[in-house]
Amino acid sequence: MSANLINLLIEATGQTLYMVAISALIGTVFGLPLGTFLATSQRGELLSAPLVNKVLGLVVNATRSVPFIILVVAIIPFTRMVAGTSIGTTAAIVPLTIAAIPFIARLVENAIREVDSGLIEAARAMGATPVQIIVKVLVPEALPAITLGLTLAVVSLIGYSAMVGAVGGEGLGDLGIRYGYQRFMPEVMAVVVLILIVLVQLVQSVGEWIAARVDKRAPKGRGQ
């Protein structure tokens, strides 16, 4: 493999990491509070707002139901409005983020709903407000599951980032298509796949390590 291809691989890896990191960060900023609200806003819950919960739930489900590659194409006008272009690394962040927000929201919602309801009742009996219960009880208790959920979201974004290479995005997916497929260079495709596998393994390992560290129920020494 030539030095030029090696440089292209390094550049493409950096572009992929950039896309995934920014979209995961923005997706978490919006998805975490959205998921928390969905988990606590059904009738009779801490932030009871059943109508709003239902509407937001429908929007989240609708967004998640759209295959990612179709989503990328469908929102090209919106992408162009936000990023100023519909191609390139920065433009790819827009559909990646839109896909990440509802995905993260549902993962967070499920994690919070797994918290023992007895803890909520105990906090209520002590006079805690709904916001205090969410911030000091629900989120800390659900943090290990939330961490694993975010890890899964990042892994999914790595796969999605490869898909945007087929529609004008940059990164490893674009390199694999342009060189590995269109120029019949299977060695490039093999290296691209290997890098993606390594990235996924690293993210999964780090996510599991962090989840073990924040798990208050873990035996002493776990995650050390």
Hey, is 206 helix, strand or coil?
helix
More confident residue, 14 or 85: 14
How large is the average pLDDT for residues 147-162? 95
Tell the residue number behind the tokens 């819950």, with chain if given: 45
pTM of the prediction?
A: 0.90
CB 153 within 8 A of CB 203: no
In this prediction, residue 177 carries a pLDDT of 87
Tell the residue number behind the tokens 């060695």, with chain if given: 187
Q: Give the tokens for residue 77.
A: 């006008």
Sequence-distant (≥ 6) Cβ neighbours of residue 132 within 8 angstroms: 123
Q: Report the b/e string of 164-183 with b at 16+ CB within 10 A.
A: bbebbbbbbbbbbbebbeee
Residue boundaries of the structural domains of the chain: 3-214
131: left (phi over 0), alpha (psi -120 to 50) or beta: alpha
Q: Give the tokens for residue 11.
A: 């550049």
CB 93 within 8 A of CB 23: yes
CB 203 within 8 A of CB 155: yes
Class of domain 3-214: mainly alpha
CA-based end-to-end distance of the chain: 40
In this prediction, residue 222 carries a pLDDT of 45
Tell the residue number behind the tokens 């918290």, with chain if given: 115
154: left (phi over 0), alpha (psi -120 to 50) or beta: alpha
Least confident span in 81-90, 92-101, 172-181, 215-224: 215-224
Cβ-based burial of 220 (10 A; exposed 0-12, middle 13-18, buried ≥19): exposed
**For 123, how many CA atoms within 13 A lie in the half-sphere containing its CB?**
19
How large is the average pLDDT for residues 75-91? 90
Q: How confident is the model at residue 218 (pLDDT cuts 50, 70, 90)?
A: low
Q: What is the mean pLDDT of the chain?
A: 91
What is the rounded radius of gyration, in angstroms, for the C-alpha atoms of the chain?
20
More confident residue, 168 or 12: 12
Residue among 22, 21, 5, 13 at smallest CA distance from 170: 13
CA angle 206, 102, 141 (to 5 degrees): 55
